[in-house]
Structure 1
């Protein structure tokens, strides 16, 4: 599968990237109102942000979240009942703008089988491989989002948003260590983002698998000004390097926890 990638390491840390892809297969493109609009909610430059920060297994997809959202429940059940959100095959942007032309709709079952299932099979395989070697494994789900999305939440997001589904997906020692490693940056634990399907599905502390989601407000590493004109955010080297310093410390804390050192 040319769109699915696994880069293996032997440490007990897995980084997952479900939303960094920008590929929309040619057969799907005619149904969208705009390719640019379909890509608007991408986790821009997310793999570049984390590149080289820790020795970890990485799993990522090149396929856009507008095709399939790898961090949604495959049953279609909402992760945030009663709140605005997007689905397994999004039909609108975070702002509520329709993605598809009138009369067009995605074949959710086909896309789930073609993309969602293989992506998660790869993650599950890496968890099993590493769990056979280590007493603990940490699954760290990497995300970013615009700092302001009024339809989803009020006001500006903290820079670092950690999700553990109220502590259900990992030991408190891990979430405490991650929060401490955030340093002076604005951060919150289990605020609007409590962790998506990846975190909730794999996080089983009693089995030695601890999962945590990091949702980063894009202003922490990108220039968001092009968004006002419908463009895409731009890599900001200075901001990104500052954030990478903090993320390196956060991932080190994850590894220390996985190795039983905290």
Structure 2
């Protein structure tokens, strides 16, 4: 991996000694390094601004390198720039000057305050004290968003070249109060495959079965089917599969204090077993297999 692609203070790749399985693990929302200028521009305190983090998800999936897969993880916070969006989903209400003509300002995510440069953290809480120059947003995209995706693309391409196919697992967390619409059921995990377009059904079903065998309640696609990363990198017909895994935060963190719960280590251990199981599931496949072609 060419380290000139990024500043290691912003994100890093934790590599296995040798990549032995066709997986790339990605934790784009667990970053928790907040620079002083950003904090000073915010109306939120040091705890409030962390509400949109996928708290400690990088640690929950930290066994990936030992199991033979690279783990890409963000150090920059999601509230600063969100790499699980299109590159230019920009909200004109945030800036003192006009956004570029190529910006997508009409997406549902922008309308909800959760564009590439988020306007809010969770619960519709505004981040900024005042509007700021759009050049600042574009700088974040150039110096963080684009290098992050260049790195992720390189990891996926390397994996595909080595094994003939590849599986991206995009790792996230969700609020503890999430319920499956119409049922009232609170899932422990949601496996998203963009309704079958980003990964094979066999792969999604295997992920759900493995989680349920570990004693968790897992559902598929509702209410989270996968974001930009899952949609953008999942190309099953080309042997590239992408799954989004959402972990219920109530399983492992106090959502008020953001302190880890006593069961944190046990959950991380279960996810290590899950990752091993996923690797075993695809062990018999090649680039010409039914999985890669589905």
Whether these two folds match at TM > 0.5 is: yes
> Which residue is 2:72 aligned to?
59
> Which residue is 1:44 aligned to?
55
Distance 1:193 1:249 in 2: 23
CA contact (8 A) 1:143 1:214 kept: yes
Alignment match of 1:241 (pick from 252, 261, 265): 265
Note the 1:62-81 alignment, pairs <5 A: 62-76=75-89
Structure 1 stretches of 5 or more lacking a match?
A: none
Alignment match of 2:118 (pick from 87, 90, 107): 90
Answer yes or no: is 1:14 the counterpart of 2:38.
Answer: no
> Which residue is 2:151 aligned to?
122
Q: Deviations over 1:173-232 (max 9, x none)?
A: 1001001011131221000111111111110011111100001111112233xx1xxx3x
User: Bigger shift: 36-45 or 122-131?
Assistant: 36-45
Distance 1:235 1:81 in 2: 29
Note the 1:140-179 alignment, pairs <5 A: 140-148=169-177, 157-179=186-208
Shift of 1:80: 5.5
Distance 2:162 2:211 in 1: 29
Shift of 1:130: 1.4
TM-score by length of 1: 0.87
Q: Deviations over 1:222-256 (max 9, x none)?
A: 233xx1xxx3x21123x223323432232123323
Shift of 1:37: 2.1
Distance 2:169 2:107 in 1: 18
Q: Secondary structure at the match of 1:161?
A: strand
Distance 1:202 1:62 in 2: 21
Distance 1:56 1:38 in 2: 31
> Which residue is 1:99 aligned to?
127
Distance 2:264 2:188 in 1: 12
CA contact (8 A) 1:158 1:186 kept: yes
Number of residue pairs matched by the alignment: 253
Distance 1:257 1:136 in 2: 14
Distance 1:73 1:209 in 2: 19
User: Bigger shift: 96-105 or 196-205?
Assistant: 96-105
Distance 1:158 1:218 in 2: 11
Mark the CA change 1:192 to 1:135 in structure 2 (over 3 Å): closer, same or farther. same
Decide which structure has greater helix share: 2
Shift of 1:84: 4.2
Note the 1:222-233 alignment, pairs <5 A: 222-224=253-255, 227=256, 231=257, 233=258
Larger of the two Rg values belongs to structure? 2
TM-score by length of 2: 0.78
Alignment match of 2:161 (pick from 126, 132, 141): 132
Distance 1:102 1:156 in 2: 40
Distance 1:223 1:69 in 2: 23
> Which residue is 1:29 aligned to?
39
Shift of 1:89: 0.9
> Which residue is 1:203 aligned to?
234
Q: Deviations over 1:31-90 (max 9, x none)?
A: 111233222221111122122253310111110111101111213157757984611111
Distance 2:153 2:146 in 1: 10
